[in-house]
Chains A and B, each alone.
Chain A
Amino acid sequence: MRTAFINQLIEEAKVNDKIFLLVGDLGFSVVEPFAELFPDRYLNVGIAEQNMAGIAAGLAMEGYNVYIYSIGNFPTLRCMEQIRYDICYHNLNVNIVAVGGGYAYGSLGASHHATEEIGMLRTIPNLVVCAPGDPAEAKAITTFTSNYVGPCYIRIGKAGEPDVHKPNGPGSLMLGDILPVSKAGEVAILSTGAMLKYVTDFVENNNIKASIYSFPFIKPINSEKLFNIFNSHTKLITIEEHQASAGFGSAILEIMNDFAERKELTSIPSLKRIAIPDQFYSVAGSQGYLREQAGLVLEKGDILNAISIEK
Chain B
Amino acid sequence: MSDLSTIKFAKDIRLTTLEMVYHARASHIGGAFSMADILSVLYSNFIRIDPKNPESVDRDRFLLSKGHACTSLYATLALKGFFPKEELLTYGKDGSRLLSHTTHKIPGVEISAGSLGHALSISGGLALAAKRKSANWNTYCLVSDGELNEGSNWEMILLAPQLKLDNLILIVDYNKIQSLGKVKDVINLDSLKKKFEAFNWEVFDIDGHNHEELTSALDQCQTKNGIPKVIIANTIKGKGVSFMEDTVLWHYKSPDENQYKEAILELEKN
Contact = CB atoms under 8 A, between A and B. Distances in A.
Do A and B come together as binding partners?
Answer: yes
Interface of A: 40-41, 43, 45-46, 48, 50-51, 53-64, 81-82, 85-86, 89-90
A62 B126 contact: yes
A51 B159 contact: yes
B124 A51 contact: yes
Contacts of A60: 125
B222 interface: no
A89 B110 CA distance: 13
A59 B125 contact: yes
Nearest to A53: B121
A58 B158 contact: no
A48 B157 CA distance: 12
B76 interface: no
Interface stretch (B26-34, B128-136, B178-186, B206-214): B128-136
B159 A54 contact: no
Chain B contact residues: over half helix, strand or loop, or mixed? helix
B150 to A, nearest CB: 9
B89 interface: no
B115 A56 contact: no
Chain A interface SS verdict (over half): helix
A85 B115 contact: yes
A43, A46, A54: most-surrounded residue (chain B CB, <10 A): A54
Interface pairs A-B: 8 shortest CB-CB = A58-B125, A54-B121, A62-B129, A51-B155, A55-B125, A48-B155, A50-B152, A58-B126
B25 interface: no
Contact of B128 (A43, A46, A48): A43
A55 B130 CA distance: 12
Interface of B: 104, 110-112, 114-115, 117-118, 120-130, 132-133, 151-152, 155-156, 158-159, 163
Contacts of A61: 110-111, 122, 125-126, 129
Nearest to B135: A62
A299 B163 CA distance: 54
A89 B112 CA distance: 8
6 contacts: A40-B132, A54-B152, A58-B126, A61-B122, A61-B129, A82-B121
A62 B55 CA distance: 11
B159 A46 contact: yes
B122 A55 contact: yes
B112 A57 contact: no
Contacts of B158: 46, 48
A58 B132 contact: no
Contacts of B132: 40-41
A213 to B, nearest CB: 38
A89 B115 CA distance: 13
